[in-house]
Amino acid sequence: MKNIWAPWRVQYIRSEKPKGCLLCEKAAQGQDRENYLLYRGRLNFAMLNKYPYNPGHIMVSPYRHAGSMEDLTDEELLDNMLLVKKCLKALKEAFSPQGFNLGINLGRVAGAGVEDHVHVHIVPRWNGDTNFMPVVAETKVISEAMDSTYEHLKRRLG
């Protein structure tokens, strides 16, 4: 894999890592813009993934700390899926993706970065977003700044 100079990541590398749950802490801080928190629902919230696979990569999570889908109440689960639906609509309006990957990684071996707080990943996809860069150069290009993506989606989610 080739190394790409990404100086903005040094802030994360040097920062003190939270001891608790990242999702719980970001939702509780009340610094929505700084944390890229897009939408606060009654039982769930949506925020941009700070290290996205593609521009507009959103995570939808319950406020309540729950480690798996079966730990959610039916009301939390329904609210979660309704917010996923709302985010899909906003992404379509803002960026016209040609498809989506929806995923829930349960447990470290399944790829969960936050393994003890369930969340749904919404990754918009475009024809050609897997091009020569990741295939040949093993490099992913994110084509838009996070602040710009946040503004486009925040306007549509309210």
Torsion angle in degrees (nearest 10) through CA of 84, 85, 86, 91: 90
8-24 as b/e: b if 16+ CB within 10 A: eeeeeeeeeeeeebbbb
**Residues noted as catalytic:** 119
pLDDT tens digits for range 84-111: 999 999 999 999 999 999 998 877 776 6
CATH architecture entry for 16-157: 2-Layer Sandwich (3.30)
Q: DSSP letters of 57-84?
A: -EEEEESS--SSGGGS-HHHHHHHHHHH
Flag residues of the chain having pLDDT under 70. 1-13, 15, 17-18, 110-112, 129-143
pTM: 0.78
| Three-state secondary structure readout of 85-102 | HHHHHHHHHHHCCCEEEE
Distance between CA atoms of residues 109 and 15, nearest Å: 26
| Contact status, residue 7 vs residue 143, Cβ threshold 8 Å | no
| Contact status, residue 153 vs residue 38, Cβ threshold 8 Å | yes
What is residue 143's predicted lDDT score, i.e. its pLDDT? 65
